[in-house]
Amino acid sequence: MSQEENALAFEALHRKGDPVILYNIWDAGSARCVAEAGAKALATGSWSVAAAHGYTDGQKLPLPLLLETVREIVAATGLPLSVDFEGAYSEDPAQAAANVAQIMDAGCIGINFEDQVIGKGGVHPIDGQAARVRAIREMAERRGVRLFINARTDLFLQEGDAERHTALMEDAIARAEAYADAGASGFFAPGLADETLIARLCAASPLPVNVMMKPGAPDIARLSAAGVGRVSYGPFPYRGMMAWLRGEAEKVYASAGK
């Protein structure tokens, strides 16, 4: 399919109460493996891609290396690909849009775009983040591609005390509304795991809500019942694979007495 056809197919997978499942990948090999397992679409995780190349998360991975990785993933499968693009490597709306254009040139049809202030903590003001979303949407429209902009808020991820997540809901809903008005396609709330709060966010959000699976999170059936439109797995597939690899290597070296 063409890039626009892939984009439209990916958007159609996001259905409230019948979420698209994205088991996050990090390179061409993991992409092919997950595709062969039955995935309808693919999505990278920034933490995993960075770690696979020896970098830490937070836009430490050089942009040219990320672009090459995306090209390799796209070449490995014909599935729609969403790229975790963090903060688009720029706080300036025009430069952020230009950077997204580069990742689109590499073949992706969607991005995660987060509102945390990378490297400094906290989140961007709503208006400033909405301006960056709007610039990215306008760029994609000029290209004739319905880019899926998964607007991520880091409010819940930055607050480790789940007991305080209720107090963040009004801000989160306001961000979902503002990002939707600016042209976002979905709303991502990683770190939110309370089933009641997830259902509240899904009911209030004008965009399909993306929840990240993590230990202690509701299962897919319960997330579906809450109205979730997208379920992703973040860094956990990569961490699980690396834990298995290390365990197997340790057994080899222990048995060899080295």
Helix-strand-coil percent breakdown of the chain, rounded to 5? 50, 15, 35
Per-residue pLDDT of the chain (258 residues; tens, 9 = 90+): 899 999 999 999 999 999 999 999 999 999 999 999 999 999 999 999 999 999 999 999 999 999 999 999 999 999 999 999 999 999 999 999 999 999 999 999 999 999 999 999 999 999 999 999 999 999 999 999 999 999 999 999 999 999 999 999 999 999 999 999 999 999 999 999 999 999 999 999 999 999 999 888 999 999 999 999 999 999 999 999 999 999 999 999 999 986
Q: How far apart are the first and last CA of the chain?
A: 51
Q: Are 44 and 67 in contact (CB under 8 A)?
A: no
The domain ranges of the chain are 3-256
- If one counts every other C-beta atom within 10 angstroms of the C-beta of residue 173, the result is 18
Tell me, what's the pLDDT at 133? 98
| Collapsed DSSP state (helix, strand, coil) of residue 82 | strand
Q: What is the sign of the dihedral through the CA atoms of 41, 46, 52 and 53?
A: positive
Tell me, what's the pLDDT at 257? 81
Tell me, what's the pLDDT at 216? 87
Tell me, what's the pLDDT at 125? 98
How far is it, in rounded angstroms, from Cα 29 to Cα 27?
6
0.75 exceeded by pTM? yes
- The CATH class for the domain spanning 3-256 reads alpha beta
How far is it, in rounded angstroms, from Cα 47 to Cα 119?
14
Q: Radius of gyration over alpha carbons of the chain, in Å?
A: 18
Both tokens assigned to 248:
């197997």
